[in-house]
Structure 1
């Protein structure tokens, strides 16, 4: 693999990992991770513990018992409002939808209490069909200073983390109950809407129109929750209403199964929160002015892509434990980034950076490991090939070196006739050529095996190759009185490297001679099929069993009968033969039975090149 192709493969792997992480962050899994992270951070970094700006006037079990139940609340609520008036609360929000007509006298009394100071905002609920509002009936609606919606839209997991400060239904739009209470407490005439948020008096609320003017709630610190005051306590002891002075009052039912809605919040831990408490939390968030601002999607995406680029650069530039350590540090930064930003009142989608960081870290580390491992394997393979080459040189080349050494000693130590000196010189020259050719063949096979050398392809006559091999091996065969026959039609040819093919065939034939008993026969034959040339070398040697046949082409493996024959060998010859045949897109097989000899068959593709004259080939 070239440098640039490897670089592109690495970039594609990291890019694919980053894309996978991004796509995963947009699935429900990513959304749930964002929810869990937000809830955890909200609990880890709550607002400072301090007195709440709102008080919940709770219609609790004691109040219901004293008033006679949920259907008889208007009279005690009216009486409580008259008491609260004397203690000057900032504003009052009644989180009870007064949409039903009851006793006129009670209605009039409650309406008069609503119409007095401080200003009171009444709840309007979204109709079940979503096409309009369930508003308070007269005389309540005209007595109220404002109407505010109490509609809640929990997230996909059923947890209420945000509230829509404005909600439209039909042709009417309602501001949230908590927002209207905040406006009245600020003596603001109107709520000014801009692209970036809402202006209430001198207070700015960052609730952009593009985000549906949603407000992320910062629920009160559990150590100092929104103060509760039982409505019945106020009726029994009006002085208890001193707690509401200068604070907003939210009137609502705090009885599970009562009129109010109960929703899960990040602080619920299995216990739902009443709607009136959620609306009071809206007011608390607005009054504190400690707003949580969601990070823009484009910013979150840019951060995720920047992380991916950092991982890519890191694993490309560093190596070993430094790369892993730096990657782990970058991964830790990605995990802590939402927490760091949350302390600056910024809400960052954790899923994007988390999934992208993990995907890029695992991919980069795996790719880095594979590259290092491949480099190690290449290095080990080169070392292994070098060791095998040394072993081959020291073993296979001993014969020509011995001949050269012996001949040179004869010339140097004795005064030989000129004819004898010329004969010995020719022998030295011949053996040195043979030695050089053996080295070249072995190194060529090694380079072919490593993919570092291409075959010198030419049209090769099969009959010429086999006849030359038989001629070279015949002196050894004659000494053992072994008959060697060769049958190869002259028209058969293959496309390949002439020297390598000759080496392979010679190795098979010489092995047959070396490992066959005296006075036996060896048959060398070549024939053709429609698209293949087949060469078979059959002997009457010692043969091999099935376990030896499975290992016969392994490097340095020698069959038991070969070791017992007394013949020298390295176990490399057949391995080299197989490599040569494979490089020629061929195959080699062997059939053998102990005591019945062996037959090696080579299958090669038919040649398509024109055969050169023998003289030109050896020129």
Structure 2
């Protein structure tokens, strides 16, 4: 038996080593870094940071450029701005405007800065010109002395060109400057111990990612000229940190961010304002070292290498997806709650790559397994039937002759008759479409093309009721030659070719299994297959129907328990029969009775080839009909030995008496002899009619008109009714056509009318109603007799059973009349009902299905 999955019979190193190699190769690519950036950007933009309440922006925008003229503006203008903000109560003023060169108005600006007392100026680290070393671009000394602090305005761009964070400390050599945001906050960070660092070396420390509040224009902003032209506004700037910088298009530095990319970059001053907002709110994000990220990836590899080889493919997929989800959740949790940016791309890539690597290993194992098992599967049994369309016409004719026994036949090849009997070449009709039967009366013809030759085959079928069914069967028979499709090219891949061969072998085995299962289902007997412990493992539909047990409950149920539950017995008990069949390996046959039906169960032990498994095949045959026939046979013998023999014995005794007194023959004796003879005749006639009814099949059915049948039956009993002065009243004028046997139907109606006459008082009325109800032709015979006792109604149609009232009234019979009626109605798939009350009469109603034949009148 082949399992539907194959475990990887390898150690964790088989999966772990390839993943470690892949991890090392990924270090040389930018794929993990780009994935980290994407994850970070997705989370940051999905949940923007909140803006600190004390940060506000004064923008050197396009409107300000238009009103104040070309840049650079006089530093007296900046002094006026500082004075306005000072008057408005600004807590700190942060300029993102470089003042590296002297100006006549420096003293005025320095005075305004001193008056305020908390103005931060920027510095920039860059080479003064090309081919020069990097240097510090500081404000002019006068302004630097007036500033409360200096901060670097440098923003770090990541490898993909987006600005996500800043270094809080940056400088040359041992001189490190805080960022503008850090300088504005007044916080201090510990610097590393100074070392032997060259004074021209760019040193950066404390990189922090900044959770932005949104894209450009998110922060509250005022135009530069709006502040100058209006009175101070304490309600807007009181106790606020004001960032002043350029936002006009084409002026100042612009930074692409995760919110905008290159489509709508953010101004540098707005970026620094976001940095300050995140800093004072404690939301700056620290980046975890690369070593930690690689360690997490190695830990993920270890988990996958240990777990995956022991899991099923579906579980492997779930584990890999769970790892990816857990790493993503860990990344988001650290980012938002721990303020740590953990690069998880290396670790996330590992489960995504582990799945195909694991699948490749499984595929390799499957390939080796297929290689070992393929030959055995290919040698498996097949169950195919030769298609009639591939048989040669002479062979087809031979098979038709054996199957249908036609009265005549003809086979011609290219216009020349090969063999014929009862048909001539002149009988061949036009056959326009090869492969299609043409039926003309009792002749059936077909044209076939085989190997470039044209064959014409004809059959002359017997003129009986089976001819129409045979012609319908011939129409369904596929005899047209089927063009074999071109064989598909063999797959080049080794595994594909083997899988294809396994698929074909599996299809053959599946076809065999389906054939066996369908054969069991279509068998007339019930089949039960048990294992070596007598537990049911298979049962066909007859078992479910006969035992009235649902199929799921049968599977797994001990056979002995099933039999004991439906036919309990003490000698021998069922468990003994089942156990002896298994232990002694001997067949047994036992009678079985289920739900008032008789069965014969045959136990046969079996053992599977090349296996130690064994069990029982139980064949259950329904012998209820056979037992019923045996019972009827016994009843018939009793009937003949008693009912038929009794009047014959009386006749013989009377004849012997007449012989002794030949000269004194009384009329009463002759009448008695006639009555006895008639009674013998009626008994024999009822017996013969019942036998004919029981042998009736639909092959003896034909279209007949029900009202005419009833009229003929009425005429047959009219003389008997007239003797008692009984009036027969027939109601019904509609022609009701049905398919049946008119002779037996008329005899059944005669029996009903005869009974009604016998049990009706003289000078009464018998009503006969013929009508249609839905798709049924109905007949109701009502009399005014004494009626039928309620305890006799359930047994009214039993054969050889006489009513007690009939015997008391002197109406002697064999008890076959109503039984004959019931059999005839059942053979016509109809129904019979009785309504009767003592002292009021009885009403018998027949219901037979009608047909609607198409009739044409010319």
- Identify the TM-score tier after normalising by the shorter chain: 0.5 to 0.7
Contact 2:91/2:238 (<8 A) preserved: yes
C-alpha contact 1:132 1:172 (8 A) present in aligned 2 = no
Separation in 2 of the partners of 1:99 and 1:224? 28
Change (3 A) 1:138 1:319: closer
State the distance in 2 between where 1:159 and 1:379 align: 58
Output aligned runs, 1:124-163, within 5 Å: 124-128=123-127, 129-163=132-166
Distance 1:368 1:18 in 2: 19
Q: 1:266 aligned to 258, 272, 281, which one?
A: 258
How far apart, CA to CA, are the structure 2 residues paired with 1:75 and 1:306?
Answer: 62
- Which stretch shows the higher mean deviation, 373-382 or 339-348? 373-382
Q: Which has the higher helix share?
A: 1
Q: Evaluate the alpha carbon distance shift between residue 362 and residue 160 of structure 1 in structure 2; reply closer, same or farther with a 3 A threshold.
A: same
Q: Return the alpha-carbon distance in structure 1 between the equivalents of residues 126 and 290 of structure 2.
A: 33
Q: 1:51 to 1:296 in 2, by over 3 A?
A: closer
What is the alpha-carbon distance in structure 2 between the residues aligned to residue 142 and residue 327 of structure 1? 60
CA deviation map 1:157-206 (0-9, x unaligned): 211111111112256322111111110xxxx6xx240679xxxxxxxxxx
Q: Deviation per CA, 1:430-454: give whole Å up to 9, x if none.
A: xxxxxxxxxxxxxxxxxxxxxxxxx
Determine which structure has more spread, i.e. the larger CA radius of gyration. Answer: 2
Say which of 228, 231, 246 aligns to 2:221: 228
Partner of 1:472: none
Q: Give CA deviations for 1:537-576 in whole Å, capped at 9, x if unaligned.
A: xxxxxxxxxxxxxxxxxxxxxxxxxxxxxxxxxxxxxxxx
Q: Residues 565-604 of structure 1: matches in 2 within 5 Å?
A: none
Is the 8 Å Cα contact of residues 100 and 139 (structure 2) preserved in structure 1? yes
CA distance in 2, matches of 1:147, 1:333: 44
Q: Deviations over 1:419-473 (max 9, x none)?
A: xxxxxxxxxxxxxxxxxxxxxxxxxxxxxxxxxxxxxxxxxxxxxxxxxxxxxxx
Following superposition, the deviation at residue 387 of structure 1 comes to 7.5
Deviation at 1:133, TM superposition (A): 0.9
Determine helix, strand or coil for the equivalent of 1:272. strand
Q: Is the 8 A contact 2:57 2:270 kept in 1?
A: yes
Distance 2:111 2:312 in 1: 79
Partner residue, 2:211: 218
- Does structure 2 retain, via aligned residues, the 8 Å contact 1:312–1:364? no
Q: Which deviations, in whole Å up to 9, do the C-alpha atoms of 1:496-516 show, x marking residues without a partner? A: xxxxxxxxxxxxxxxxxxxxx
Which structure ranks higher in relative contact order (CA pairs < 8 Å, sequence separation ≥ 6)? 1
Q: Distance in 2 between matches of 1:136 and 1:77?
A: 14
Alpha-carbon displacement from aligned partner over 1:59-79 (angstroms, at most 9, x marks no partner): 112222222221224222211
1:363 aligns with 2:357: yes
Following the alignment from structure 1 to structure 2, what is the Cα–Cα distance between the partners of residues 93 and 36? 32
**What aligned pairs does 1:286-305 form with structure 2 within 5 A after superposition?**
286-305=279-298
Q: Look up the match of 1:503.
A: none
Q: Which residue of 1 aligns with 2:89?
A: 88
Which position in structure 1 is the counterpart of 2:345? 351
Kept in 2, the 8 Å contact 1:67–1:73? The answer is no
Q: Which residues of 2 match residues 526-541 of structure 1 at below 5 A?
A: none
* 1: CA distance, partners of 2:99 / 2:216: 34
| Alpha-carbon distance between aligned partners in 2 of 1:26 and 1:88, rounded to the nearest angstrom | 54
CA distance in 2 between partners of 1:23 and 1:119 (Å) = 52
Is 1:179–1:286's contact at 8 Å kept on the other side of the alignment?
Answer: yes
1:110 is matched with: 109
Find the aligned partners of 1:374 and 1:327 in 2 and give their Cα distance.
Answer: 26
Q: Secondary structure at the match of 1:193?
A: coil
The one-character-per-residue Cα deviations of 1:269-301 (angstroms, maximum 9, x if unpaired) are 421111111111221111110132323434322
* 2:694 match: none
Structure 2: segments with no counterpart, 5+ residues: 1-5, 194-202, 383-858
SS in 2 for 1:139: helix
CA distance in 2, matches of 1:381, 1:355: 40
| Residue 143 to residue 330, structure 1, CA distance change in 2 (3 Å) | closer
Compared CA separation, residues 305 and 234, structure 1 to 2 (3 A): same
Distance 1:359 1:138 in 2: 59
Aligned position for 1:250 = 243
Q: Deviations over 1:390-447 (max 9, x none)?
A: xxxxxxxxxxxxxxxxxxxxxxxxxxxxxxxxxxxxxxxxxxxxxxxxxxxxxxxxxx
Whole-angstrom distance in 2 between the partners of 1:266 and 1:299: 24
Q: In the aligned structure 2, how far is the partner of 1:300 from the partner of 1:115? A: 48
Shift in Å, 1:217 = 1.0
1:223 Cα deviation from its structure 2 partner = 11
Q: Distance in 1 between matches of 2:116 and 2:258?
A: 35
Aligned residues of 1:99 and 1:137 also touching (Cα < 8 A): yes
1:179 aligns with 2:182: yes
How does 1:26-425 map onto structure 2 within 5 Å?
Answer: 26-48=28-50, 50=51, 52-102=53-103, 104=104, 106-128=105-127, 129-169=132-172, 172-183=175-186, 191-193=188-190, 212-221=205-214, 225-240=218-233, 242-258=235-251, 260-269=252-261, 270-344=263-337, 345-384=339-378
Aligned 8 A contact 2:89 2:234 in 1: no
SS in 2 for 1:264: strand
Is residue 61–residue 248 contact of structure 2 (8 Å, CA) maintained in 1? yes
TM-score, scaled to structure 1: 0.54
**Aligned-pair CA distance for 1:324:** 3.0
Give secondary structure in 1 for the equivalent of 2:264: coil
Q: Which moved more, 1:307-316 or 1:320-329?
A: 320-329
SS of residue in 1 equivalent to 2:120: strand
Give the CA deviation at 1:371.
Answer: 2.2
Q: 1:32 to 1:219 in 2, by over 3 A?
A: same
Q: SS in structure 1 opposite 2:208?
A: strand
Structure 2 vs 1, CA of residues 250 and 13 (structure 1 numbering), >3 Å: closer, same or farther? Answer: same
TM-score normalised to structure 2 length: 0.39
Q: Matched residue of 2:37: which SS?
A: helix
Whether the 8 Å contact between 1:75 and 1:110 is mirrored in structure 2 is yes
Aligned-pair CA distance for 1:81: 0.7
Q: CA deviation at 1:328?
A: 3.3
- SS in structure 2 at match of 1:7: coil
* CA contact 1:131–1:170 (8 Å) conserved in 2: no
Separation of aligned partners in 2, 1:331 and 1:91: 46
Q: Whole-Å Cα distance in 1 between the matches of residues 335 and 150 of structure 2?
A: 33
SS in 2 for 1:72: coil
Corresponding residue of 1:14: 16
Deviations along 1:74-133, one digit per CA (max 9) or x if unpaired, are: 22221111011123222111111111122x2x2221111111224111111113245321
Residues 207, 287 of structure 2: 8 Å contact kept:
no
- Matched residue SS, 1:88: coil
Offset of residue 51 of structure 1: 5.1
CA gap of 1:311–1:13, structure 2 versus 1, over 3 A, is closer
Whether the aligned pair in 1 keeps the contact of 2:125 and 2:171 (CA below 8 Å) is no
Q: CA, structure 1 residues 71+58, in 2 after alignment: closer, same or farther (shift >3 Å)?
A: same
Cα distance in 1 for residues equivalent to 2:151 and 2:216: 29
Equivalent-residue separation in structure 2 for 1:217 and 1:92 (angstroms)? 21
Question: Does the CA contact (< 8 Å) of 1:111 and 1:143 recur in 2?
Answer: yes
Maintained 8 Å contact 1:178/1:282? yes
C-alpha distance 360-308 of structure 1, shift in aligned 2 (>3 A) = same
The number of residue pairs the alignment matches comes to 362
Residue 156 of structure 1: SS of its match in structure 2? coil
User: 1:130/1:150 Cα in 2 relative to 1: closer, same or farther (>3 Å)?
Assistant: farther
Cα drift, residue 241 of structure 1? 5.2
Answer whether contact 2:62 2:249 (CA < 8 A) is retained. Answer: no
TM-aligned CA distance change 1:192 to 1:299, over 3 Å: closer
Q: CA RMSD in A?
A: 3.0
